[in-house]
Amino acid sequence: MRIDADRLSYAYVRGRDVLRKVSFSVGAGQVAFLLGANGCGKTTLVECLAGIRTPRSGKVLLDGRSLEQYALRERARRIGLVPQIHEPVYAYTVFDIVLMGRSPHLGLFARPGRRDRMEVRRALEAVGLWMLRHRPYTQTSGGERQLALIARGLAQGATCLLMDEPAAHLDPRHQHDVFRVVTQLASDGFTVLVTSHHPNNALLYGDSAILMIDGAVVAQGSPESVLTAEHLEATYGMPFELIHGPNGSKAVLPKAPR
């Protein structure tokens, strides 16, 4: 599935746009990283792409069709949203959290059936959480929660995943666990957009990178071409430096004060 932002603008207050004619595309089999400073509009953009918010102008396209042309249930079967923070009020099991993703496939008063539970098992096995299916979701680690939310999107049947800072509170190992699953999904044809504050994750796991400043896209392309010291300094208002490893690897780091 291909998802396009076509000149999207959005305002919470009339006359003060927080998104300004944002355009980009993410195709099937790609992992795109969306980076920018706090308050630049990343989460608002993701919510517009998911159909939670209606842009003031412009449109979202799924496989060339406007998002508005899809019924809500059909839209939910195509797009999975993985939020940054998810705190349930009840200690549902990991299995039950993922089972909630089957809602778009059920009737108004229908109960999940054998096929729904099979889809949940398939999703949990895909992210490596089947052994934790009976554990209360509230007793899992941050990385396990993110994987459970990815599994919920898979059980939902979505082939486009929008992930809002999935690595925000994770240590390097758990970040790798999450993005290992994400890159595997992309290799299977999924479309993935990740908002992030970690340029190096984009270099390691991304096929493309998109930089935003004050609600507008200022650079997009391959991670190597976008995540330069100059672009990052303009984005975050601080100096960066590019580090080259002996095996050709690259990393960007804030420049140490002198």
List pLDDT tens digits, range 153-208: 889 888 999 999 988 778 888 888 889 989 999 999 999 999 999 999 999 999 99
Cα 118 to Cα 115: distance, rounded to the nearest angstrom: 5
| Exposure class string for 176-187: b at 16+ Cβ within 10 A, else e | bbbbebbbebbe
Model confidence band, residue 85 (pLDDT cutoffs 50, 70, 90): low
Model confidence band, residue 258 (pLDDT cutoffs 50, 70, 90): low
What confidence score (pLDDT) does residue 255 get? 81
Q: What secondary structure does DSSP assign to 21-44, as a single string?
A: EEEEEE-TT-EEEEEE-TTSSHHH
Flag whether pLDDT at 43 surpasses 90.
yes
- Quote the domain boundaries for residue 223: 3-254
Six-digit token pair at 152? 């919920």
Q: Which residues pair with 57 in a beta bridge?
A: 9
Cα 159 to Cα 105: distance, rounded to the nearest angstrom: 15
Exposed/middle/buried for 169, CB within 10 Å: 0-12, 13-18, 19+?
A: middle
Flag whether pLDDT at 143 surpasses 90.
no
- 233 C-beta neighbours (distance < 10 Å), count: 15
Q: What is the number of domains present in the chain?
A: 1
Rounded (10°) CA dihedral 99, 149, 43, 106: -10
Mean pLDDT for the stretch of residues 117-121:
94
Q: What mean pLDDT value characterizes the chain?
A: 90
Flag whether pLDDT at 86 surpasses 70.
no
Residues 6+ apart with CB under 8 A from 216: 19, 20, 21, 22
**Closest to 147 in 3D by CA, of 114, 120, 124:** 124
Flag whether pLDDT at 234 surpasses 70.
yes
Quick check: 163 and 82 in contact, CB under 8 A?
yes
Regarding pTM above 0.85, the answer is: yes
What confidence score (pLDDT) does residue 66 get? 95
CATH number at residue 103: 3.40.50.300
Kindly state the percentage of the chain with pLDDT values over 90.
Answer: 63
Kindly state the percentage of the chain with pLDDT values over 70.
Answer: 96
What confidence score (pLDDT) does residue 54 get? 94
Model confidence band, residue 236 (pLDDT cutoffs 50, 70, 90): very high
